[in-house]
């Protein structure tokens, strides 16, 4: 955390994604130890992890999110969290830290979920944005983002500090002629147009696609068998520091794996990473 603070990261106007990841290889059934679960805060625009908390299990993620918010400076940022973090206490904590939120809503908040679904079924949205993406592998994805800002119909609106907007994302994917659809709901403490909400919600997946995927595929974190004492947590921190140093070193045609190889062969390049 002291090292992160020396980077003088500015969170003003940034999207800060909070999500958990289980280090599966750290589970030790023989000695009755569960796999450690790490909750991280990730800033996509800076490609930096702002902080991390270890929990005993995924079920303790709510408490860990609140501890993480106390640990890092999020002032002026927009925090995105999946449905596990859709809690009144967490919304209040984010606002008290000078930030705003976009929280995914699922059946763990059944009343709120049903109210939002009913509102979008019977009320006209204040703004709608449709985006369409085509990949090189024959996949077509269309996302329709709808926003409602008049929220007097939410029974417990006052208990969600700063609540200003509800959002619906309808996503359809067509792969090899087969179409699947999914509808997701969100609440937010900011009022934005539908395009901005669509872009900000997409950024949340940066923590999965950029951080967690790289740790598993490039650093093979889930295959690590370190279990004794604090070793699993300590090495998880070191991997994330290494990932951030490699990510900040921009080199054409060199991905994370190749930069790691070059760092192993060339001490000058290794030093340039550390001093970057």
> Above 60 in pLDDT, residue 8?
no
Question: Which residues are CB-contacts of 25 (< 8 A; sequence separation ≥ 6)?
Answer: 35, 221, 222, 223, 224, 225, 226, 232
> Above 70 in pLDDT, residue 135?
no
> Above 90 in pLDDT, residue 216?
no
The average confidence (pLDDT) of the chain is 84
Q: What are phi and psi of 145, to 5 degrees?
A: -105, 125
Lowest pLDDT segment from 20-34, 61-75, 219-233: 20-34
- Mean pLDDT to the nearest integer, 8-14: 65
Are 227 and 28 spatial neighbours (Cβ–Cβ below 8 Å)? yes
Q: How many residues are present in the chain?
A: 276
> Above 90 in pLDDT, residue 184?
yes
Of the two residues 62 and 149, the one the predictor is more confident about is: 149
Are 276 and 246 spatial neighbours (Cβ–Cβ below 8 Å)? no
> Above 80 in pLDDT, residue 212?
no
**Concatenated DSSP letters of 30-52:** GGTBPPPEEEEEEETTTTEEEEE
**What confidence score (pLDDT) does residue 51 get?**
82
Q: How far apart are CA 23 and CA 232, in angstroms?
A: 8
**What confidence score (pLDDT) does residue 245 get?**
83
Q: Where are the beta strands (DSSP E) in the chain?
A: 15-22, 37-43, 48-55, 78-81, 100-105, 127-134, 139-148, 165-175, 178-188
Supply the pTM of this predicted model: 0.81
Q: What are phi and psi of 243, to 5 degrees?
A: -60, -45
**What confidence score (pLDDT) does residue 65 get?**
92
Are 189 and 95 spatial neighbours (Cβ–Cβ below 8 Å)? yes
- Mean pLDDT to the nearest integer, 245-265: 82
To which residue do tokens 């999110």 refer?
A: 65
**What confidence score (pLDDT) does residue 33 get?**
66
DSSP letter, residue 210: I
Question: Tens digits of per-residue pLDDT, 200-211?
Answer: 998 877 666 677
Tokens at residue 194, please? 């539908």
Lowest pLDDT segment from 16-20, 150-154, 223-227, 246-250: 223-227
Could you give the 3-state DSSP secondary structure of residue 271?
helix
**What confidence score (pLDDT) does residue 213 get?**
75
Question: Tens digits of per-residue pLDDT, 24-46?
Answer: 666 666 666 667 778 888 887 77
Q: If you average pLDDT over each of 30-39, 55-64, 112-121, which comes out highest?
A: 112-121
Give the chain's domains with CATH numbers.
2-274 (3.90.350)
Lowest pLDDT segment from 20-24, 55-59, 87-91: 55-59
Integer-rounded Cα radius of gyration of the chain: 20
Q: How far apart are CA 93 and CA 173, in angstroms?
A: 36
> Above 80 in pLDDT, residue 102?
yes
Q: How far apart are CA 57 and CA 36, in angstroms?
A: 6
Smallest Cα–Cα separation from 244: which of 216, 264, 214? Answer: 214
**What confidence score (pLDDT) does residue 137 get?**
61
Q: How far apart are CA 75 and CA 42, in angstroms?
A: 14
Tokens at residue 98, please? 């000078």
């Amino acid at each position: 955390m002291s090292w992160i603070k020396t980077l003088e990261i500015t969170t003003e106007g940034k999207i800060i994604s909070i999500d958990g990841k289980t280090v599966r290889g750290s589970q030790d059934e023989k000695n009755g130890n569960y796999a450690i679960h790490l909750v991280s805060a990730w800033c996509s625009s800076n490609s930096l992890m702002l902080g991390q908390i270890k929990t005993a299990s995924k079920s303790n993620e709510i408490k860990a999110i609140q501890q993480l918010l106390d640990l890092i400076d999020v002032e002026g940022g927009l925090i995105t969290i999946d449905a596990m973090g859709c809690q009144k206490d967490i919304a209040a904590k984010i606002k008290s830290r000078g930030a705003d939120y976009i929280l995914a809503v699922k059946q763990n908040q059944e009343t709120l979920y049903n109210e939002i679904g009913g509102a979008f079924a019977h009320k006209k949205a204040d703004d709608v944005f449709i985006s369409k993406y085509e990949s090189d592998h024959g996949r077509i994805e269309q996302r329709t983002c709808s926003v409602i800002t008049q929220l007097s119909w939410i029974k417990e609106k006052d208990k969600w500090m700063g609540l200003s907007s509800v959002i619906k994302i309808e996503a359809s994917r067509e792969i090899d002629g087969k179409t699947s659809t999914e509808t997701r709901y969100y609440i937010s403490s900011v009022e934005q147009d539908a395009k901005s909400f669509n872009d900000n919600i997409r950024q949340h997946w940066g923590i999965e696609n950029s951080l967690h995927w790289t740790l598993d595929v490039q650093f093979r974190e889930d295959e690590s068998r370190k279990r004794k004492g604090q070793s699993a947590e300590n090495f998880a921190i070191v991997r994330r520091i290494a990932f951030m140093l490699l990510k900040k070193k921009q080199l054409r045609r060199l991905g994370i794996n190749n930069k790691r190889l070059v760092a192993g062969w060339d001490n000058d390049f290794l030093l340039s990473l550390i001093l970057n």
